[in-house]
Amino acid sequence: MSDTVSRVTIHQVAAAAGVSVATASKALNERGRMTPETRQRVQEVARNLSFRPNAMARALVHQRSFTLGLLTNDTYGRFTLPVAAGLSAAMADRGVSVFLCAIEDDPQRAWLNLEAMEDKRVDGLVIAGKRVDRGLPITLPALSMPVVHVNAECPEGGVGFVPDDEGGAYLATAHLARLGCRRIAHITGPESFAAVHLRVAGWRRALEEAGLPAPGGALFGEWSERFGYETGQRLFSAGAERPDAVFCGNDQIARGLIDALTLLNLRVPEDVAVVGFDNWELFAQAARPPLTTVDMELKGLGREAGLTLLDMIDGKPVERGVRRQPCRLVTRRSCGGP
């Protein structure tokens, strides 16, 4: 006996719905004239039979490949994998596949992947990056498909989606202020990153609204646990008045800071509350105590980018420019709040 599961054909759908094959095809492809009841009956029968349309036939009918390309230089996947997950989930409901290519920062590899996507006739392209102020290592040519940028630099006249870094930093700092913290320091990454300055602006805005000082100004350095640890040692070993809370520019810095506080016999959150940024589960959940942090909602970015790209493919009007999507504060024990 064969283990192969036979695939339901459109002839079987038509027979079960009591219509011709031509009518069944039109109903499933949202084409042709028929009563709404007939169209709905055919579609319900197809769902009940778990009918899957032939991809090649569908592409020929609609003159589309029903495939999107996702091109990224984030080979580690820290930022792109959540974007890809959100994009794929939104596209699966619409019968669209996602073709992922990772290129590191190799211009030649980028060109080869772009050519492969054009050869495969992908309907649209999502470019995803590691930071909001950098694009791919090449200047994109005039492509035969619409393009959307996610968490990457967006050219003038393009369409881009990025997390609201300033808004996320404001959420974190305002949360600490509401918990009663009065000296909220900020330890963050390199000054060369646009996101760093946006997060500093959000931190300052929340402090100003709460009538609080910015103790010592923002402390810039590396996106690393080591920097968080070394800065924590200096900041809390000094004789000056210590912060009672620290908002960190990412979760790695926050993890390093918590290690430094523990070695200095300072309790988190009883002596010092700590909040990170990114909601990188690997760091946030494994911190002791678990880390309150800002989630950039990267899956949501992928979803919105994909839906916008479908509108562009369909020829619908789409507003140009960069759209900053709201972040979300994930509260855990490190800040002492609920």
pLDDT in tens, 115-152: 888 777 888 999 999 999 988 777 776 777 899 999 99
Q: What's the pLDDT score for residue 3?
A: 42
Q: Amino acid identity of 99? A: F
In CATH, what class is 10-62? mainly alpha
| CATH architecture type of domain 67-163+298-325 | 3-Layer(aba) Sandwich (3.40)
Q: Exposed (0-12), middle (13-18) or buried (19+): which is 233, by Cβ within 10 Å?
A: middle
Strand partners, 161: 150, 323
Domain 165-296+329-335 CATH assignment equals 3.90.1150.10: no
Domain residue spans of the chain: 10-62, 67-163+298-325, 165-296+329-335
The answer to whether the 67-163+298-325 and 165-296+329-335 domains have the same CATH topology is: yes
Q: What's the pLDDT score for residue 75?
A: 82
Cα separations in angstroms, 80 against 250, 289, 301: 17, 27, 10
Distance CA 60, CA 57 (A): 5
CA quadruple 128, 131, 133, 138: dihedral positive or negative? Answer: negative
Contact 184, 245 (CB under 8 A): yes
Backbone angles phi, psi at 7, to 5 degrees: -90, 135
Q: Amino acid identity of 96? A: V
Cα separations in angstroms, 154 against 163, 168, 322: 13, 20, 7
Which tokens is 283 given? 């760091």
Res 55 pLDDT > 80 = no
pLDDT tens-digit profile of 154-163? 999 999 999 9
User: How many residues would you count in the chain?
Assistant: 338
Contact 69, 101 (CB under 8 A): yes
Res 258 pLDDT > 50 = yes
pLDDT tens-digit profile of 82-116? 999 999 999 887 778 888 888 877 788 888 888 88
Distance CA 33, CA 314 (A): 21
Q: What's the pLDDT score for residue 338?
A: 62
- Listed range (28-42, 141-155, 182-196, 302-316) with the worst mean pLDDT: 28-42
| Mean pLDDT, rounded, for 264-284 | 94
